[in-house]
Amino acid sequence: METKIQPDQNPEGLQTTESQEDMSLSTPVVVDDIKNSQISPEEKQWISEALTIDHPSPVSTSPVETATPPEPKEVHHQGPQISGSERRIIVRLLRGNSAAVEEYLDYTSEEINYNDLNKQELVDLLEDAVQEGDFEVVKSQVTKINAALRKIVKEEHDKERHEFVTNGGKEEEFVPVEDSLDIRFREAFNQYKQNKARHSEEVEKVKVLNLQRKLDLLEELKVLINSEETLKKTYDEFKNLQDTWKEIGMVPAAELRNLWQNYHFLVEKFFDKVRINKELRDLDMKKNMEQKIELCEKAEELLMEKSIIKSFKLLQHYHEKWREVGPVPSDVKEDIWERFKGASDKINQRRKDHYKELQGQQQSNFNAKKALIEKAEEILAITPESLKDWQSKTDQVNELVRMWKSIGRAPNEHNDEVWQQFREKLDGFFTARRNYLNELKDQQINNYNLKLDLCVRAESFAESEDWKEITRELINLQKEWKKIGPVPRKHSDKIWKRFRSACDQFFERKSSHFKNQHGFEEENLKKKQELVAKIVGFEMQNQKSADMEALNGFQREWVEIGHVPFQMKDKIQHEYREAIDNLMNKMHLSKSEAIVTDFKTRVESLKTGPESDRKLYQERNALAIKMKRIQDDVMLWENNIGFFSNSKQANKLKMEFENKIERAKQELAVMKEQLRLLN
């Protein structure tokens, strides 16, 4: 990768990568008419000082940190798997849009396990991949497909060799039989290697073109040095030339050092030639100082950033910006750098501490997962014989799976291994269970007929105006729907959309009906104005329970009043919100109390807004689902915390899960209060 050097840096300050240091040093271009130009010693001294690069060694082209712990990979929970043929169809549909193909392949790379695909699917995927025009998009996928295919071919050959020897043949005389898939695989992979070679050739051609462009710029710079134009015009042309130089991409590595030496030689001669006046240089240095002070402030702001990874990435960006900014006055150079370095050191240390803590947590997760594997072996030791036994055993296995997912990632060097061990324990169980359940498909057909009947009943209510009774009926139908159980997968989405559409049609009509009622709005406005005045004039009793009760009373009274004229809605709502906020600030509410109070305001807004019934219904359902998930986690953790009693770090694991349980219960307490406000 070409090292980025700022055009106004002193050539003596040039730092190169390791590969560039091995290059032979070429003699710089010599421009005779420049080399022979005469300037006084005083001018030489001033220009030397003016061009001194503000380039402290810690901010060289080396990274901010030379040794950092590896960043943790994102945890991908296993989702629904897609087949190789399905993935192949999607890639074909996206062909012609490299960005879309790359995004899709990146998204599915963690979902698909190439070792689970058969030979036909892998060959199909490989043939499609080599047809993609952008080599970089499919490079990673081809590597994985190739490894999986070669594994299958090896297993086939081993099996054929064994059969050959078993039937009396000599092992050294065995010759593998090549089938049509082997031929297709070889042809496709050869095409891939040709694509790879063609891609490398194109990259080198671009580098050669870039080299020629930069050589042309050097010639332009020579002409500029000899130019008799005004200082401003010459300097503007010089800056444009520098910008063009920066925009040009990589060049052949063998030419890099010589190219940069020639460039910086001519840049230095340009400044010798034009002798930029000191006022312009001082102004430039002042602007540089302001930019670096701004970078110091931004780096210090990162100390408040919650995301460790985000703060570190932004810090790298700020260091790149720092290198790009020119010199600053020498009397402040060291102080500004120390300020920037101090903030950087704190962010780097925080990142190191974060990964150290993360590694400890991952080791704890590893121990917990090994304990779950031992528990899985114990549970799966006996094969169920009845449906009830299968269901009971499935519940136990699902508890293990939920527990596994809730634990978190193990260290990278063990994560795949421990997951494979756990998965092997479960694969045999679910394979046997699937074979057993294939005999129960008739039940799913029956469930489908029951849900079909619920759809017909729901559709019969769609045009009714008996709002209260039909609401109750539809809610009961929804409860029945949940109790029935699964239907055949090919009908699942279609029948659910039909049922939901019938329910939505009624509830939307109901919402529209009540939205159009505007009675008593003027009287409601007067009541709300009086309530705002009461809140503003409320005197605190300095007793939290009493003050809180008063606050709740104000909020209940506001909601009970009802709608006001539309043109006054925003104004009176703003006055009320401002009065409530001032009262809350005086009460110094705790975090949980503030959350509940803010939620109460949200509920008030929903109740007074359009389609309030539907929105409150959706809010209530979402909150109930979230509570159910957390309650299930708490119950799961409490019931199964004994899993870790026999592990080497039992006490530590138990304490960690007790802390998880306590935090979850605190969150549940807040959510229960929110649910109460919705009812």
The pLDDT score that the predictor gives to residue 514 is 65
> What does each C-alpha distance from 59 to 54, 324, 338, 340, 617 come to in angstroms?
10, 11, 11, 10, 57
Q: Which residue has the tokens 């449906």?
A: 387
State the DSSP H helix or E strand holding residue 602, giving kind and residue range, or none if neither. Answer: helix 591-608
Measured on CA atoms in the order 620, 621, 622, 624, is the torsion positive or negative?
Answer: positive
The pLDDT score that the predictor gives to residue 316 is 92
The pLDDT score that the predictor gives to residue 368 is 84
User: How far apart are the C-alpha atoms of 617 and 511, rounded to whole Å?
Assistant: 11
User: How far apart are the C-alpha atoms of 224 and 270, rounded to whole Å?
Assistant: 8
Structure-token pair, residue 413: 């060097």
The pLDDT score that the predictor gives to residue 85 is 47
Percent of the residues in the chain that have a pLDDT greater than 90, as a whole number: 17
Please give the distance of CA 83 from its chain centroid, rounded to a whole number.
25
- Convert the pLDDT of each residue in 202-260 to its tens digit: 888 999 999 999 999 999 999 988 887 777 788 889 899 999 998 998 899 899 899 98
> What does each C-alpha distance from 25 to 255, 576, 678 come to in angstroms?
10, 76, 76
The pLDDT score that the predictor gives to residue 495 is 92
Structure-token pair, residue 363: 């080791």
Structure-token pair, residue 108: 């599915």
User: How far apart are the C-alpha atoms of 531 and 259, rounded to whole Å?
Assistant: 78
* Residue ranges in 466-543 assigned as alpha helix (H): 467-484, 489-515, 521-536
Cβ pair 667, 634 in contact under 8 A: no
Q: What per-residue string of b and e applies to 542-577 under the rule 16 or more CB within 10 Å gives b?
A: eeeeebeebbeebbeebeebbbbeeeebeebbebbe
Of 609, 620, 619, 622, residue with least CA distance to 511: 609
Q: At what angle do helices 84-94 and 98-109 cross, to 10 degrees?
A: 160
Of 52, 3, 10, 4, residue with least CA distance to 269: 10
Indicate the SS3 state at residue 609: coil
User: How far apart are the C-alpha atoms of 525 and 530, rounded to whole Å?
Assistant: 9
Amino acid type, 105: L
Amino acid type, 575: E
Cβ pair 6, 326 in contact under 8 A: yes
Residues of the chain with confidence (pLDDT) below 50: 1-86, 90-98, 101, 104, 107-109
- Convert the pLDDT of each residue in 163-198 to its tens digit: 888 988 888 888 888 888 988 988 888 888 888 888
Neighbours of 650 (CB within 10 A): 16
> What does each C-alpha distance from 574 to 379, 399, 577 come to in angstroms?
60, 49, 5
User: How far apart are the C-alpha atoms of 643 and 368, rounded to whole Å?
Assistant: 8
Q: Indicate yes or no: pTM above 0.95.
A: no
Structure-token pair, residue 434: 């699937």
Of 15, 43, 49, 62, residue with least CA distance to 327: 49
* Residue ranges in 226-277 assigned as alpha helix (H): 231-247, 253-274
Measured on CA atoms in the order 463, 469, 472, 477, is the torsion positive or negative?
Answer: negative
Cβ pair 53, 9 in contact under 8 A: yes
Residues whose CB falls within 8 Å of the CB of residue 25, separated by 6 or more in sequence, listed in order: 257, 258, 261
Amino acid type, 402: R
Of 468, 376, 494, 386, residue with least CA distance to 433: 386
Cβ pair 408, 75 in contact under 8 A: yes
User: How far apart are the C-alpha atoms of 310 and 298, rounded to whole Å?
Assistant: 13
